[in-house]
Amino acid sequence: MVDTDAPRRSRQRTTAQATAARLLAGLVLAGLLAAGCAASKGVSLRAVPRNPLAEQLKLGSRSGPEPSARTVQVLRVWNLEDQLDGDVRDLLAQLQVITRREPSAERVYAIAELAYLGGKRLEKMDSAAALDLFGSAVLYSYRFLFDPRFAPLRSPYDPQFRGACDLYNAALEDMLRLVCADKKLVPGTTQTIRTAAGECDITFVLRGGRWQPRDFDHFEFVSDYEIRGLKNHYRRHGLGVPLIAVRRSYPGEPAVAKYYPVDLSFPVTAFLRPVTPDHPDAAHSVCRHHALLELYDPLTTEETRVADRRVPLEADLTTPLAFFLSKPELETLAWVGLLKPQELMKMRPDRPDPIMGLYMAQPYEPGKIPVLMVHGLWSSPMTWMEMFNDLRAQPEIREHYQFWFYLYPTGQPFWISAAQLRADLEEARQLLDPGHREPALDQMVLIGHSMGGLISKLQVTHSRDDFWKLASTQPFAEIQADPEVKQKLHYAFFFKPSPSIRQVITIATPHRGSSFSNQTTQWLLGKLIRLPDVLVKRQQKLFRDNRGLFRDNSILKIHNSIDALAPDSPIFPVMLAAERPPWVSYHNILGIMPDTWWLNPFTHDSDGVVSRTSAELPESASEMVVRADHSGVHAHPAAVLEVRRVLLEHLAELEGRPAVAAATQQQRQAAAVPR
C-alpha cells in the first residue's frame, strides 16, 4: 500500500528540523555572544591584605607577630632578648644607641624589623604610635639597603636583603594606610609625621607619567584586592607600594580628558626617599627630617635611582585594571548597546559628550602609535581586557604603543557605526594634533573582533559610488531630504580610506556574513532591539519623500545589525571587491571550535558563530587559525601572540629591522588548524 502522506510528513520533518536548527542557532548565538560580552568580575576584597612578611613574622598567628631568628640573635648577643615582651620603643632606643656607636647592617635590619612589629601590635590601639614605628621601619630598612658604609657586606643573595625590601614595602604601605585614612595623600602637599628619629616632613610629588596632581581623587591599596576574571596577573618586584589611583573629573581639565571613562583607575607606585643629611649618623639622632613620597606611573617608569644605583620599582599593572572592571554598570554596556542603542547616544554624566565613542585607559602620549580595539556584536570594550592586559604588560609593546577603545551601539547596522567611528577618529586627530605634526598618529593599528572587524575594514575602504548603488539606482543628488539627514547619508555611503591607518587585524570576522543571522534570530532580536525613535522616523520620512528612488532590497531598509550580518546581504561582495589602499597591511585571525566542544555536530568548521569560509581572508598578508570559540578567540594566547607579532613587525618595518622572530613563527605554525 502506498503511503500518500509520506512526502507531506517528510516535508514537515524537514521544516521542523530546520526550525529546530534555527532555534538552536539562536540560542547558541545568544549564549556565545553573552559569554563574550560579559565584563570581567574584576576584583574581590581580601579578608586580610596580602603581606610578604606574613609567614616570616607570623603576622596572623594568635600569639601575635614574632621577630625573625636573626633579629632574636642580635638581641641575644647584646643581652636584650628578655626585653622583647616589654615596650618595643624602649628596646629600640637601646638598640639605636648601640648602632650609633657601632654601625652594623645586621643591627639596622633588626631595628627596622622590630619597629615594624611594634607598629603592627599598636596599629589598632594607637595609630599615632604605630605611624611613628612604621616610619622608623621605613627609614631603617632604607638605610640597610642604601647606606654606603654597608655596601661591602651587602649581598643580594642574602635572604635578609630581600627581607629588607619587604620590610621597606610593608612598613611604607602600613604608614600610607594611616595617612590615607584621613585622605591626606595629595600630590603636591606636605605632611609631618613623628618617628623615633624625630619629626619628618613628607612631600608628595609625581615622578614620571603624564597624570597631573588634580587627576587624583583617592587611592586604594593593591594588596587589599584579589583578581577575579582576568587570567594573567602582571607584577614587577622591587621597592615601593603598588596603589590603585582613581581619577576624578574637574573644571579646566585637558581636552583629552573627554576620552577617559568615569572613575578610571590606573596603577601608581609610591616610593619614599629620605633626604640624606650631611652627616651619616645625623639621620638617627633626634632632629627634623625631610622625605619625598614619589608617585610613579609604572606604565612609563620601571625604575628609579638612589645615588648611583638603579632601583627597580615594585608594580602591579593588572589589579588597577581589574578594579575598574568591577564597576557594575560596565556589565550592562553590551546588552544596552544591542537592545537599546539610543542609551549609548545619551550624554555622559560627567561631561557633554555621548557615552559612545573613543576611550583611553591612559593619558594620550605623543610619539606612541595608537592601537584601536573595536568590539563586536552584543559586546563592549570589556571584551578586549584579556588581550589588553597581556599586551600592555610587555615592555616592548608598552614603550611604543598606546591603546584606545571604541564603544558603539551594536544594535544598528555596522556601516552606520563605521561612519560614526570615521567621524570620531577625525575629531580625535583634530583635538590631539590639529597641525598633523605627530607621525605616530599616521601609523595607527586597528583590531576588530567579529562585527568590529567589518567596521575596521570600512575605515580603509574607498567607497566610490559602489555602496550608494546598494541603496539606490538614482544619483545621490536627486535624493530629497533635510540637509542634516542628507549630510549623514553622504558621510555613511561616500568615503575614502583613512591615510592614518597602517595595519588592520580582523579576528573572527564574518567577511561574508554569518548564517546565524537567519529568519529565527532576525525575528527574535528584531522584536527586542529598539532603535532610536528619531532614527526610525527619519528613515520613514526618507522613504515617503523619495518613493521609487530606492531599491526594493536597499540596505537602507535593513533595520538592525542582525539583519545586516545575513550572508545574502549585498554589502559583503562590495566590501570584498573594494580596492585596498597600498599603505595598509591586513592580517586575519579566525577561530575553529575545539574538538571537545559538545555542540561540534552543529558548528562544524566554524567558531560557533562565523563559519571558516566566511572568516577566511586569503588576500591578507597573514592568516592564522586558532582553536577557540567565537567569544574567546581574541583572548586566546595564540591570538594574543599573533597580534604581538604584527605590532612588533610594524615597528620593525618603521625602523628598518628584520621582522618576525623564529620562535613566534613556530608558535603560529603550532596553533594552525588544518582543513
Q: What is the pLDDT of residues 504-562, one digit of tens each?
A: 999 999 999 987 766 555 555 555 555 555 566 777 888 888 988 888 888 888 778 88
Q: Specify the pLDDT at position 35.
A: 43
Q: Specify the pLDDT at position 424.
A: 97
Give the bridge partners for 240, in sequence order.
none
**pLDDT tens, position by position, 268-278:** 999 999 986 53
Name the strand (E) or helix (H) holding 265.
strand 265-274
Q: Specify the pLDDT at position 22.
A: 47
88 and 154 fall within a common domain: yes
Residues 6+ apart with CB under 8 A from 494: 463, 465, 467, 468, 476
Rounded Cα–Cα distance for residues 116 and 169 (Å)? 11
Q: Specify the pLDDT at position 528.
A: 58
Residue 60 lies in a domain: no
Rounded Cα–Cα distance for residues 575 and 493 (Å)? 12
Q: Specify the pLDDT at position 36.
A: 42
Residue 25 lies in a domain: no
Give the bridge partners for 274, in sequence order.
291
With beta carbons less than 8 A apart as the criterion, state whether 359 and 381 touch: yes
229 and 109 fall within a common domain: yes
With beta carbons less than 8 A apart as the criterion, state whether 134 and 175 touch: yes
550 and 421 fall within a common domain: yes
302 and 366 fall within a common domain: no
407 and 454 fall within a common domain: yes
559 and 459 fall within a common domain: yes
88 and 121 fall within a common domain: yes
CA proximity to 420, closest of 380, 387, 386, 374: 374
Q: For the domain that residue 568 is a member of, what is the CATH number?
A: 3.40.50
305 and 335 fall within a common domain: no
Q: Specify the pLDDT at position 352.
A: 84
Residues 6+ apart with CB under 8 A from 484: none
CA dist list (Å): 389 to 295, 299, 396, 451, 572 = 22, 12, 14, 22, 33
Specify the pTM: 0.88
Number of structural domains (the chain) is 2
162 and 298 fall within a common domain: yes
269 and 351 fall within a common domain: no
For the CA atoms of the chain, what is the radius of gyration?
31
The whole domain housing 308 covers 69-319
491 and 548 fall within a common domain: yes
**Which residues of the chain carry a pLDDT beneath 50?**
1-4, 6-40, 278-285, 662-671
Beta strand 289-296 pairing with 198-207? parallel
Residue 50 lies in a domain: no
Last residue of a domain, one of 274, 290, 319: 319
371 and 275 fall within a common domain: no
Q: Specify the pLDDT at position 289.
A: 77
Q: Specify the pLDDT at position 340.
A: 83
Q: Specify the pLDDT at position 666.
A: 45
Last residue of a domain, one of 319, 352, 374: 319
User: How many other C-beta atoms can be found within 10 angstroms of the C-beta atom of residue 2?
Assistant: 5
Dmax (CA) of the chain: 117
CA dist list (Å): 21 to 35, 59, 354, 517, 609 = 21, 60, 39, 12, 13
- The three state secondary structure string of 49-114 is CCCCCCCCCCCCCCCCCCCCHHHHHHHHHCCCHHHCCCCHHHHHHHHHHHHHHCCCHHHHHHHHHH
Helices 88-101 and 105-122: crossing angle, nearest 10°?
160
Using DSSP, state whether 362 is helix, strand or coil. Answer: coil
Rounded Cα–Cα distance for residues 282 and 363 (Å)? 42
DSSP type of residue 464: T
Residue 417 lies in a domain: yes
